[in-house]
Amino acid sequence: MPTGDLREVSVFDPDVYANGDPGQNGLPIELFARLRNGAPCVRLPCDIPGHEKSAWVLSRYEDVSTMLREPDHFLSGSGVTMRATHTTVSEDGGKPAMITMDGAAHVRNRRLVNRGFTPAVVRRFEAHFRMIAGDIVQRAVDLGAFDFYGNLVSARSQTFKLTVTPAQYTGFYRKPLNLSLAIDLPRGQLALRAGVFDTAASKAGTLEIPLTIPKK
């Protein structure tokens, strides 16, 4: 693949994935194949505000596997995402976490966490998660329709948009943001879902709360 063409590859563009083929989970399979065949290790630009300006992209399985097996050469201490600042990096004002630790500190914390992810421990959660999955499916069946992604079609939503500056965004890492919104809800059994969507990064965080409003 010519170098000039690579500068146009939008591997970091969230719209590429949001508008991708649902049958491939939105993944640009053909784009990944072009990278593997023409430039399996290449530094590509990123134009998303609040993110790194560029990053190395490895697209061959063998290269990615090698990188993961060489933690002394490929470090995580400066961050593991494309964001320019990280909540788990001390230099960014964050609090270190296992995922952004290297060397002995990472090994020590991982040994503690690994105990909670053994096959025996994971099997203990199976019944609980089957119940959650069953409730989601039953709710969709009761309403009569749901889309390809499992989102309920028969739903009511109220949203509002909040625009913040980069300085304010960084401040949210250190001080919580309190918002209130009056919403009109029908009576009965509900699932109240609160979420935050980052339009620049196309990332969302959600919290779903079962809610019962007694009928008169």
Residues 47, 51, 52, 54, Cα dihedral to 10°: -30
Q: For residue 63, what pLDDT is reported?
A: 94
Q: How do the domains of the chain map onto residue ranges?
A: 3-69, 156-216
Helix or strand run (H / E) with residue 195? strand 188-198
Q: Quick check: 17 pLDDT over 60?
A: yes
Q: For residue 1, what pLDDT is reported?
A: 46
Q: How far apart are CA 203 and CA 51, in angstroms?
A: 13
CA–CA distance from 42 to each of 7, 121, 192 (Å)?
Answer: 10, 40, 44
Q: For residue 65, what pLDDT is reported?
A: 94
Q: Which carries the bigger pLDDT value, residue 185 or residue 66?
A: 66
* Most confident residue range from 10-19, 29-38, 164-173: 29-38
Q: Quick check: 161 pLDDT over 50?
A: yes
Nearest CA to 73 out of 61, 85, 87, 63 is that of 63
Q: Quick check: 67 pLDDT over 70?
A: yes
Q: What are the φ and ψ backbone dihedral angles of 164, each rounded to 5 degrees?
A: -125, 155
Q: Output the six-digit token pair for 11.
A: 């591997």
> How far from chain centre, in Å, is Cα 179?
23
Q: What is the CA radius of gyration of the chain?
A: 22
Q: For residue 151, what pLDDT is reported?
A: 56
Q: What is the pLDDT of residues 96-137, one digit of tens each?
A: 888 888 989 999 999 998 988 899 998 999 999 998 888 877
Q: What is the pLDDT of residues 185-210, one digit of tens each?
A: 667 777 777 777 776 666 777 777 77
Q: Which carries the bigger pLDDT value, residue 194 or residue 84?
A: 84
Q: With the C-alpha atoms ordered 85, 87, 92, 97, is the resulting torsion angle positive or negative? A: negative
Q: Which carries the bigger pLDDT value, residue 99 or residue 153?
A: 99
